[in-house]
Every structure is written in C-alpha cells, then in structure tokens.
C-alpha cells in the first residue's frame, strides 16, 4: 500500500481511508477499540516517519561537515552502529 505524507504531515486520502477501513474491520462494532487502533496506527506511522527523516538529516550533516567542525553539531545525535 503506497503511503503519501506531505511535508506538513498530512496523509494522502487513499492511505487515510485504508487505515480507517483496516482499523474498522479489526475493531468490528467496538468504538473504543477502533479509537485505540486508529490512534496507535497514526502514532506509529508518525514516529517512524520522524525517525526516518531525522536519520537522513543527521547523515547528511555528517557528510557535509569536516571532522574538525563536528563539535558544532553537538545537538545532532550521532548514529549508533548496529
């Protein structure tokens, strides 16, 4: 399922409809469960997007900055090796 999220964090209409339908099928007639599932899905997608973008920015900064100037990037977290 393609997922589109613009730079302001808005989801594409098809993806939003897919998530809503998926959560509705999983919850059945239970409104509380649907609310829980849709909130969890939105949070999961948002966090994964933020992490992905954050890592890209961090890697890009590391490639653009000379090692001697790295102390000026103190606010940028160094990527961990796995």
d(CA 61, CA 54): 11
What is the reported pLDDT for 60?
A: 75
In a domain, 4, yes or no: no
DSSP state of 67: G
d(CA 70, CA 11): 35
Domain interval for residue 35 = 13-73
pTM above 0.95, yes or no: no
Tell which phi-psi region holds residue 15, choosing left (phi > 0), alpha (psi between -120 and 50) or beta.
alpha
40 against 63, higher pLDDT = 40
For the segment 47-80, what is each residue's pLDDT rounded down to a tens digit? 887 777 777 777 777 777 666 666 665 555 555 5
In a domain, 52, yes or no: yes
Spatial contact of 19 and 41, defined as CB atoms under 8 Å apart: yes
28 against 1, higher pLDDT = 28
Indicate the number of domains in the chain: 1
Answer whether residue 81 shows pLDDT above 60. Answer: no
23 against 70, higher pLDDT = 23
Spatial contact of 55 and 76, defined as CB atoms under 8 Å apart: no
């Amino acid at each position: 399922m393609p997922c589109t999220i613009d730079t302001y964090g808005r989801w594409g209409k098809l993806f939003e409809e897919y998530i809503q339908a998926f959560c509705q099928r999983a919850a059945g007639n239970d409104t509380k469960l649907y609310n829980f599932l849709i909130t969890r899905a939105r949070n999961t997608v948002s966090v994964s997007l933020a992490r992905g973008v954050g890592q890209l920015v961090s890697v890009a900064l590391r490639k653009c900055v000379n090692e001697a100037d790295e102390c000026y990037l103190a606010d940028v977290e160094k990527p961990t090796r796995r």
